Structure 1
Amino acid sequence: MSDAVGVLILDEPQELCPTFRATLEHLPALQTVTEADLNAGWAGPAVAVVFLDESRLGDGLARIVALRDRQPELRILAAFQALTSKDLRAVLTAGIDAVMARSAAPREICAAVLALADGAACLVADREEAPESGEALGLTPREAEVLRFLSAGFSNKEVARRLALSVRTVETHRLNLRRKTQTGRLKDLVTLARQLGLAPVVEGERGRNSRH
């Protein structure tokens, strides 16, 4: 069996198909697979890339839950255009391992797949628009959620209240964001949130009681 990372692609947008698959097929470290291949005993690591359609998010979540039940060892990367805080929590609860913006360049999606296969959780922007380090940011879904509120100008205390987290937890996420993005400036956080396709915070938006 190949030493490449197996990539299971689900719900791929038609307009993304030619460039994404062409990029993937030119990388020897990646190989497209089907679920039948996984069931037949795929020897190497495998990552599913699920492209979420926000207008039919329920269908995408159901697919992720079912896939997780059938393939518990599979790593799952969810790619989206713009999700609300509530939607991000729902995707995380469904069992995904990482999220990223669907508008990212095909090579960035492939880079995220490789990072996820190595055990990292990545949320990456287009490399040309990312911070000067030019590296995958490595944000977790929870950090992305906190970023949405921080980029809207909310204080740590307000973010904690709205997401039902402790202030200390928010402070930890903020420190991680500063370390990974190499900036703590509001202007930079706003730009980053926009590049990642994170939807603006809606007034009154508030999380459930789930501490992480």
Structure 2
Amino acid sequence: MDRIRVILADDHPVVLAGIRALLNADPEVELVGEATDGGEALPMIRAVAPDVAVVDVSMPGLNGLELTERVKGECPGTRVLVLTVHEDAAYVQPLMRAGARGYLLKRSAADDLLRAVRAVASGGVYLDPSIAGHALAETSGSDGRPGTAEGREPLSPREAETLRLIAQGFSNKEIARRIDVSVKSVETYKARAAEKLGLRTRAEIIRYGAAHGWFDALALR
């Protein structure tokens, strides 16, 4: 029986080492490459054509969502398993629409990683058990509530970009670095944008972004 060929992409060294150890411990799995950012992972996936790419959501270069979209379009034989700390089920639908075949929380990896890799490699879909029920029930906010912009002041470019990055899972510090402003400015943009759109939580921001095309490939660039 052929082994499942896997590439791993995560920018946290401790996580990378832990996942590597789990994969290497299974004789049915072959780890054929590692990357510490999405920009490094994509050409590696193109070159190696693994069965499964295990990718983090929040990475420099290309984030997990962007990387998933690129892999789906350029390497259709590779199935993406997202590995993340984000437990909010609102993250799941944009990633699955982008082409991910699995969504696993990092805290579940010790028990469920190999099961998830096998499920995805065999053509199935894997959702972390702790969020699966809620994730499948989510509507991605398409009912227009909350956050409809009708009758509200439009977002400035900075406010819109800040909300997009928040929805992608970046911290205020990471956003400040990406758009070259202070952390305090990021907090201000976030507060203003959320007030304008009537959004109260990160989950609502994610659902709003999904419903309004913020996770499309062009919108993320």
TM-score of the two chains, using structure 2 as the length reference: 0.52
Which residue number corresponds to residue 152 of structure 1? Answer: none
* 1:31 equivalent in alignment to 2:21: no
Q: Answer yes or no: is the 8 Å Cα contact 1:64–1:94 preserved in 2.
A: yes
After TM superposition, give the deviation of residue 114 of structure 1 in Å.
0.8
Q: Matches of 1:23 and 1:10 in 2, distance apart?
A: 14
Label 1:96 to 1:144 Cα distance change in 2 as closer, same or farther (>3 A).
farther
Label 1:118 to 1:163 Cα distance change in 2 as closer, same or farther (>3 A).
same
* 1:47 equivalent in alignment to 2:52: yes
After TM superposition, give the deviation of residue 51 of structure 1 in Å.
1.1
Matched to 1:68, the amino acid is K
Q: Matches of 2:91 and 2:55 in 1, distance apart?
A: 15
3-state SS of 1:104 partner = helix
Q: Answer yes or no: is the 8 Å Cα contact 1:49–1:76 preserved in 2.
A: yes
After TM superposition, give the deviation of residue 202 of structure 1 in Å.
4.5
After TM superposition, give the deviation of residue 208 of structure 1 in Å.
2.6
The 5-angstrom pairing of residues 125-136 of structure 1 reads 125=129
Which residue number corresponds to residue 145 of structure 1? Answer: 135
State, as a whole percentage, how many aligned pairs show the same letter: 18
The 5-angstrom pairing of residues 1-212 of structure 1 reads 3-34=2-33, 39=47, 46-53=51-58, 59-82=63-86, 84=88, 87-125=91-129, 139=132, 144-147=134-137, 162-164=141-143, 201-202=203-204, 208=211
Q: Deviations over 1:28-57 (max 9, x none)?
A: 1100113658636x6xx7111001128x79
**Could you list the runs of 5+ residues in structure 2 that have no partner in the other structure?**
34-42, 144-200, 214-221
- RMSD in angstroms over aligned alpha carbons? 3.9
After TM superposition, give the deviation of residue 83 of structure 1 in Å.
5.7
After TM superposition, give the deviation of residue 92 of structure 1 in Å.
2.2
Greater share of helix residues, 1 or 2?
Answer: 2
